[in-house]
Structure 1
Amino acid sequence: MNAGIEALWMRGGTSKGLFLRAADVPADPAARNLLLARLLGSPDPYKAQIDGLGGATSSTSKVVLLARSARADADIDYLFGQVSVDTGHIDWSGNCGNLSAAVGPAAFHLGLVPVPAGDHATVRIWQMNIGKHIVARVPLAQRQVQEQGAFMLDGVAFPAAPIELTFLDPAPDEEGGIGGLFPTGRLIDQLEPTVGAPIEATLITAGNPTVIVRAADLGLGGDELQPRINGDADLLARLEAIRAAGSVAMGLADSLDAATHSRPATPKIAFIAPPARYVSAASKAIEATEIDLLARILSMGKLHHAFTGTGSVALAAASAVPGTIASEIAGQRSHLRIGHTSGVLDVGAKAEQRADGWTVTEATMTRSARRLMQGRVFA
């Protein structure tokens, strides 16, 4: 008889995902992946995930495995998987910055760490996908996670309590080659995608590997909403070709085919433009004075409904370094206001120039999270 697995269904930032204890799933990667994909309802040729918990979008087809950490410098080990809706392939290559906000609360809800006294808990997270530390400041009330609050996050309809995230040393350790803030050793590269003309891009690894291009070089304004981008098959093909070329240039994939089929979740690709007035997906007018740049980011081949958390870390890191496409448009700054599809996102990044190149010591943002369901999930 199928007894099910204890699970949480949680919102973190502008994403939702299935949270499980790592000890409750098979240790064998192939068996684990089949189970996790099945729980979300994938593979699904109908691309609907009707027979599972997934929401049939990149923002809602995610899994998280948590364990109490054996590391002296961490409380929780956190592994993230991006599940392809149609194929069921799970990409474990990167982190989800949005769901990072839910890791601390989930660790308490699943009994992996005790809830301390006080009005906040500092949870030290070891992000296993990228081998980096995240520190979450989780609000508490009467030794329970405090979810209710007045913090509004654009892309989320209801207010909640704020969770402060600090991504420590989010870039890899080596400048040049595979690793470093700029894996190619250059601030701007020229890519030659298989679709369309060559294009300049900043290739950066902070939060997640990200390809940043100018919206103008794509014939776009940077203020587009999902229907405009996701309804243009030719544009999506060009963006994927650019992303794949960037993946190979960064040393993340050994071929364009591998970049598209084996590593679809990272790098992300974002296109940016100077600040301008626009209307968000919620029909809210965003003034040019409220933002430092316009930005749109794709996830799993489609325009994200808001902006990825790790993408905002990458964009903030790029804007903190002179000579990148981001700092060219927004100006060099340590605090960035991103005008995205659903509104505005604030993120900070501290960059330093050292003898071996630029590095980012930390990136910060405020998100929120909420437990939507806790119980048993069945395959």
Structure 2
Amino acid sequence: MAHPAQIKVPAAYIRGGTSKGVFFRLQDLPEAAQAPGPARDALLLRVIGSPDPYGKHTDGMGGATSSTSKTVILSTSTRPDHDVDYLFGQVSIDKAFVDWSGNCGNLSSAVGPFAISGGLVDASRIPQDGVATVRIWQANIGKTIIAHVPITNGAVQETGDFELDGVTFPAAEVQLEFMDPAAEEDGAGGAMFPTGKLIDELQVPGVGTLKATMINAGIPTIFINAQDVGYTGTELQDDINSDPKALAMFETIRAHGAVRMGLIANIDEAAQRQHTPKVAFVAKPAAYVSSSGKQIAADSIDLLVRALSMGKLHHAMMGTAAVAIGTAAAIPGTLVNLAAGGGERKAVCFGHPSGTLRVGAQASQQDGEWVVTKAIMSRSARVLMEGWVRVPADAF
């Protein structure tokens, strides 16, 4: 019996921040996958190795975690004052599903470098030595990201001494500016606080009524107090991920928060929107030992934050959630701001399972409404492998 041969698709496997993903240029995808739809989703699922009932991604490029089951498609931008269009697909591990509802802030740090190396940025915008400014259109959420990419001898510099907790080795620093991060095009009605309140009462069956800050900034996020769900904020991955009841509780909170935020019409739709919103719990500073054994002193951080992604506690912090943290921290009266001590803040350093991260945001009130013009943080990126990824020709 004849079987179709595998095809080769040009791609790169890249670490961006604390995530990894398979990067494609739109023009390199098979013609059937160059447009959104079932063929594209089927191709990306096969590339990653999903759905995998074994939860290992043995037969694909995925790493069987939310941080490593990611895909990116880039193309030269047709939008004014932008260099590249960036589309992010979060691939489900155990379901035949690609979630296009949000951005990946970590992989955003690799977009500029890949776009430059892939010839998607006009050569006149790339210095021989210095920093290239790449203007990125984040197509999932309709937002602009500015990436500052170090350049040496006309090429992207990937090595350096910038250390990022959650990443094993140092690399070159890539500074990111998330412009106007309060989401407007993600179906949440355009409000930074879709419920109209900085702190809301969220009724969750089987859990109770929780104080919650629900914000659209970077990515839709539901913040709750750690102590309200029986935690301290110093938890590491296994403390949550080894507890099925805890994971089920957080998913219930996420589903009901998504309804309140206007992201879905009813909780049954939450299963088809796994990437957004995120759920995070916050607490005041406390000392703890990170997953790498690093001692984190209470006086070295402003607050503690733990966040879940795709149903599991994240090993560090999602970049987009960090934007939400920085934004919420800059607005007096949110749960994030109160956990950090309250008052006006331009930046916070928060503790996560792998260590600490600093993020800043510029917030102001205009006509009685809070407006955030940009959030700023640093990440790093490194190409791990490049060439072609192979998939069976009948896979999509």
CA distance in 2, matches of 1:238, 1:224: 16
Post-superposition shift, 1:88?
Answer: 2.8
CA distance in 1, matches of 2:170, 2:309: 25
**1:198 — aligned with what?**
209
Letter in 2 for 1:362: K
Matched, 1:294 2:267: no
Post-superposition shift, 1:356?
Answer: 5.0
CA distance in 2, matches of 1:177, 1:10: 31
Report if aligned partners of 1:210, 1:270 keep a CA contact under 8 Å in 2: yes
Could you list the structure 1 runs, at least 4 aligned residues long, displaced by more than 2 angstroms after superposition.
Answer: none
Letter in 2 for 1:357: E
- Segment drifting more, 154-163 vs 355-364: 355-364
Matched, 1:180 2:191: yes
Report if aligned partners of 1:180, 1:359 keep a CA contact under 8 Å in 2: no
In the TM superposition, what whole-angstrom CA distance separates every residue of 1:52-83 from its partner, at most 9, and x where no partner exists?
00000000000000000011121000000110
**1:376 — aligned with what?**
388
Alignment partner of 2:7: what SS?
coil
Report if aligned partners of 1:270, 1:295 keep a CA contact under 8 Å in 2: yes
CA distance in 2, matches of 1:186, 1:91: 28
**2:146 — aligned with what?**
135
Letter in 1 for 2:23: F
Letter in 1 for 2:98: I
CA distance in 2, matches of 1:151, 1:101: 13
CA distance in 2, matches of 1:138, 1:177: 32
Letter in 1 for 2:160: G
Alignment partner of 2:292: what SS?
coil
CA RMSD of aligned residues (A): 1.4
Report if aligned partners of 2:49, 2:57 keep a CA contact under 8 Å in 1: yes
Alignment of 1:212-291 (within 5 A): 212-259=223-270, 261-291=271-301
Return the match for 2:351 from 339, 351, 372: 339
**1:211 — aligned with what?**
222
Post-superposition shift, 1:257?
Answer: 1.2
Matched, 1:5 2:14: no
- Cα distance change, pair 177–126 in 1 and its aligned pair in 2 (3 A): closer
Return the match for 1:165 from 171, 176, 182: 176
Alignment partner of 1:4: what SS?
strand
- Segment drifting more, 186-195 vs 278-287: 186-195
CA distance in 2, matches of 1:254, 1:157: 41
**2:378 — aligned with what?**
366
Post-superposition shift, 1:190?
Answer: 1.1
Letter in 2 for 1:76: V
Letter in 2 for 1:67: S
In the TM superposition, what whole-angstrom CA distance separates every residue of 1:268-327 from its partner, at most 9, and x where no partner exists?
000010001110000000001110001100000000000011101101111111111111
Q: Which runs of 5+ in 1 are unaligned?
A: none
In the TM superposition, what whole-angstrom CA distance separates every residue of 1:117-167 from its partner, at most 9, and x where no partner exists?
231100000000110000000001001110110000000010001000000
**2:394 — aligned with what?**
none
Letter in 1 for 2:153: Q
CA distance in 2, matches of 1:85, 1:239: 18
Alignment partner of 1:368: what SS?
strand
**2:25 — aligned with what?**
21
Post-superposition shift, 1:358?
Answer: 0.8
Matched, 1:41 2:49: yes
CA distance in 2, matches of 1:113, 1:197: 51
Report if aligned partners of 1:208, 1:266 keep a CA contact under 8 Å in 2: yes
Alignment partner of 1:305: what SS?
coil
Post-superposition shift, 1:182?
Answer: 0.6
Return the match for 2:100 from 84, 92, 95: 92
- Cα distance change, pair 137–14 in 1 and its aligned pair in 2 (3 A): same
Percentage of identical aligned residues: 54
Post-superposition shift, 1:24?
Answer: 2.8
Letter in 2 for 1:354: Q
Report if aligned partners of 1:178, 1:184 keep a CA contact under 8 Å in 2: no
Report if aligned partners of 1:195, 1:237 keep a CA contact under 8 Å in 2: no
Q: Which runs of 5+ in 2 are unaligned?
A: 392-396
**1:52 — aligned with what?**
60
TM-score w.r.t. length of structure 2 = 0.93
Letter in 2 for 1:352: S
